[in-house]
Amino acid sequence: MDIGVSIRNMGTQSTRELMAACARAVEEMGFESIWITDHIAIPPDDAEGSGGRYMDTLTTLAWLAGITERVKLGSGVLILPYRAALPTAKQVATVQELSGNRLVLGAGIGWMDPEFQALGVDRHARGRISDETLAFLNTCFAQDVVEANGQQFLFKPRPPKPPIIIGGRAPYAIERAAKFGDGWFPMARGPYDVASGLPKYRELTDAANKPPGEITVSVRLPLDDAAASKELCDEYRALGVNRLICGIRYDTIAEYRAQLEMLRRVA
């Protein structure tokens, strides 16, 4: 089971210096991947913990690609209805190309009403928009000539398609992952959240004659309790989870590295 680690691209921790130091620490200590989150328009009454400060996801991943060499770079998750499909496909392909094929595209449909309102997007259409964007992304990475709005165009660069893993809960996220994605990406309060959805996901991928896809799980481990953390990691591993992404709380690089050291001991 691979271990990924989150970096805060929001709030006071999202300075250039601290994010760079965290990314380099993750790579230096041998973890598989770095993950950041996606918000565009946080309302003033819902800004606790971030102050409304968020670095753009794809721009930040491109920047992280330039200051690292080996570690994979993940979006956890990119909210598809917030963005037009064609420019998003171009940005995703560019990050994949310039990173040396290190991108893992976590994708989701979003949930925050004020963000949809600020963007002028109908929240109730987010599932349909996401499905259309996912279908378009898959088409773009499958062929050089693509059509949009009745116009053919060349989709280049066309690097290998990054794995697209679909975030969210059962049943809709599982159905979307089986139809359009390369894996399922739940946020789990515990192993039971994964265990309850896995049989349906496997059933759907089997019915679609698709490979089972990777299971990536976002968690918070009680790192101050090594025994409990190790037990949880073992449970996720026994379920067949391919990647565990661990959220970490910190304010300084010293705190971040200390958490990484604890994580390395239990995972």
- What is the Cα–Cα distance from 136 to 164, expressed in whole angstroms? 12
pLDDT in tens, 229-262: 999 999 999 999 999 999 999 999 999 999 999 9
Q: What is the pLDDT of residue 170?
A: 79
Residue 149, sorted as left (phi over 0), alpha (psi -120 to 50) or beta, turns out to be left
Q: What is the pLDDT of residue 212?
A: 83
Mean pLDDT estimate for the chain: 97
Q: Rounded to whole angstroms, how far apart are CA atoms 11 and 55?
A: 9
Question: Residues 32-46: pLDDT tens digits?
Answer: 999 999 999 999 999
Residue 239: CATH number of its domain: 3.20.20.30
Displacement of CA 214 from its chain's centroid (Å): 13
- The single-letter code of the amino acid at 35 is W
Q: How many domains does the chain have?
A: 1
CB count, 10 Å around CB of 188? 21
What's at 173, amino acid-wise? A
Kindly state the average pLDDT of the residues 68-87. 98
Output the pLDDT for position 263: 97
Cα–Cα separations (whole angstroms), residue 231 to 31, 101, 214: 19, 33, 21
Cα–Cα distance for residue pair 232/188, rounded to 1 Å: 11
Rg (C-alpha) for the chain, rounded Å, is 18
- What global pTM score does this model have? 0.96
Q: Domain range for residue 220?
A: 2-266
In this predicted model, what pLDDT tens digit does every residue of 179-218 receive, in sequence order? 999 999 999 999 999 999 999 999 999 999 998 889 999 9
Q: Amino acid identity, residue 48?
A: E
**pLDDT of amino acid 169:** 82
